[in-house]
Amino acid sequence: MQPFHIGDYTVRYPLIQGGMGVRISGGSLAGHVARCGGIGIVAAAGIAMNSSHYTGTNYMQAEPEAMKEELRKAYAIAPDGIIGVNIMVALSDYETLVEASIEGGAKVIICGAGLPMSLPALTAHAPHVALVPIVSSLRAAQLIVKKWQKGYNRLPDAVLVEDPDTAGGHLGEKMENIGTGDYDHYGTVRAIKDFMRNEYGCDVPVIAAGGIWDRADVMHALAQGADAVQMASRFVATEECDAAESFKQAYLDCRQEDIGLVMSPAGLPGRAIVRNHTAIVNFDQANGTVCSTGCLKKCTFKETGERFCIVRALDRAQRGDVETGLIFCGTNAYKAERITTVQEIFNELFAEAAAEEAEEAA
Ligand SMILES: Cc1cc2nc3c(=O)[nH]c(=O)nc-3n(C[C@H](O)[C@H](O)[C@H](O)COP(=O)(O)O)c2cc1C
């Protein structure tokens, strides 16, 4: 397995742990993944929730402090690790969180849920930070790359291609286009790779995300043209994941048919455990909840009270209320069988398999 190069950094294994919002991937998970030789990612979405900085009324002030605190935790675990952040463009405090991440020492910034058109301008004073847009189509990649090159003379340090048919959380595709069988994930990976080569003459790493669970999946992604993989759901059922034990248990308990799509108040479909969908929606109606954070730029709950408050639903799940909390997950989450450690996952993906192959070859 070759080391993975991204911007100024070399990572031992071509594995990025996917950012998982509202404190599912905080400093603990990100730090341990980085210590094992992957890229550890702290998710910015709702980072203030359940943090010591949030009093219940100061969400926007608490967010950057909470982000820096999680980065400190991660670096305490992996002082020399490659640690980055995932920041959704759809967040109201997207720009503040980009700056807080730089101040906290993030080496990689990954942005999806919208096109991060101005990211090079926001990070111009920190050129060593690797910039990675998340896309699901060649067209989205082209729009971003053209804008970055023309506007800022900067190309992405990698492009992350997320498969809407398998990934967890918010998805970059319309509800009606998901699961139709039309989407060609690795075709998109290769098309973006070719576009960068043909238009810009450079070999920009392309990272595949969505539905990657075991070593066979990793090897398949690399054989299909990806330079690295991003895995999120696989890291939930670990001791080091920042979620409550009952959130992890929900992964162990869920069946394939429990995983489906919900329409998020952010206007994007999301993949989650859907068994308790009615309880999620009813919670806010029953409690007369109103928007108190303004966490998203666009949100039907904020604007009209329609659907449910997503940051609170995700926060409840993170704290262990799996009855009324929203549990995001990818299509493979049902494969989780026991709580393991991050190191065990790395051993299975890279070390043990490599040792076995070496033995067979000898
Ligand atoms: C619990 C959970 C939360 C997520 N939160 C975010 C997020 O805040 N931002 C984001 O860009 N992607 C988010 N994702 C998507 C992952 O980063 C990742 O790309 C995707 O889940 C990959 O598919 P996999 O889970 O099958 O590995 C989330 C996924 C899960 C399972």
Nearest ligand 1 atom, CA 45? 8
Q: Cα separation of 155 and 69, whole Å?
A: 30
Best mutation site among 16, 17, 20, 86 for ligand 1 pocket (most ligand atoms within 8 Å of CB): 20
pLDDT tens profile 170-228 = 999 999 999 999 999 999 999 999 999 999 999 999 999 999 999 999 999 999 999 99
How far is ligand 1, taken at its centre, from the CA of residue 25, in Å? 9
Question: Is 90 exceeded by the pLDDT of residue 359?
Answer: no
Q: Under a CB-based contact definition with an 8 Å cutoff, are residues 74 and 103 in contact?
A: no
Share of the chain above pLDDT 90, in %: 95
pLDDT tens profile 225-258 = 999 999 999 999 999 999 999 999 999 999 999 9
Q: Name the token pair of 247.
A: 């959130």
Higher pLDDT, 213 or 352: 213
Average confidence (pLDDT) over 58-75: 98
Share of the chain above pLDDT 70, in %: 99
C-alpha torsion 274→115→130→215, nearest 10: 40
> Is pTM beyond 0.95 here?
yes
Owner of token pair 């919002």:
21
Q: Name the token pair of 25.
A: 């991937």
Question: Is 80 exceeded by the pLDDT of residue 355?
Answer: no
Residue 2 is predicted with a pLDDT of 86
pLDDT tens profile 107-116 = 999 999 999 9
CA-to-CA separations, 335 to 4, 93, 252, 256, 312, in angstroms, rounded? 27, 35, 8, 8, 27
Owner of token pair 């506007």:
151
Q: Are strands 228-231 and 15-17 parallel, antiparallel or unpaired?
A: parallel
Average confidence (pLDDT) over 261-276: 95
For atom 8 of ligand 1, the residue with the nearest CA is 21
283: CB partners within 8 A, 6+ apart: 289, 308, 313, 316, 324
Please name every residue paired with 259 in a beta bridge, in sequence order, or none if there are none.
Answer: 273
Please report which confidence band the pLDDT of residue 362 belongs to, taking 50, 70 and 90 as the band edges.
confident
CA-to-CA separations, 83 to 35, 177, 252, in angstroms, rounded? 9, 33, 27
Best mutation site among 15, 47, 134, 233 for ligand 1 pocket (most ligand atoms within 8 Å of CB): 233
Nearest ligand 1 atom, CA 41? 17
Q: Cα separation of 298 and 94, whole Å?
A: 13
Please report which confidence band the pLDDT of residue 356 belongs to, taking 50, 70 and 90 as the band edges.
confident
Owner of token pair 């990572």:
11
Nearest ligand 1 atom, CA 210? 23
Domains in the chain: ranges and CATH: 4-243+337-361 (3.20.20.70), 247-319 (no CATH)
How far is ligand 1, taken at its centre, from the CA of residue 232, in Å? 6
Q: Under a CB-based contact definition with an 8 Å cutoff, are residues 155 and 119 in contact?
A: no
Average confidence (pLDDT) over 86-96: 98
Question: Is 90 exceeded by the pLDDT of residue 154?
Answer: yes
pLDDT tens profile 26-51 = 999 999 999 999 999 999 999 999 99
With a Cβ cut-off of 6 Å, ligand 1 is lined by: 18-21, 24, 43, 45, 86, 88, 112-113, 134, 162, 166-169, 209-212, 230-234, 328-330, 332
Residue 41 is predicted with a pLDDT of 98
Question: Is 80 exceeded by the pLDDT of residue 81?
Answer: yes
Q: Cα separation of 237 and 67, whole Å?
A: 23
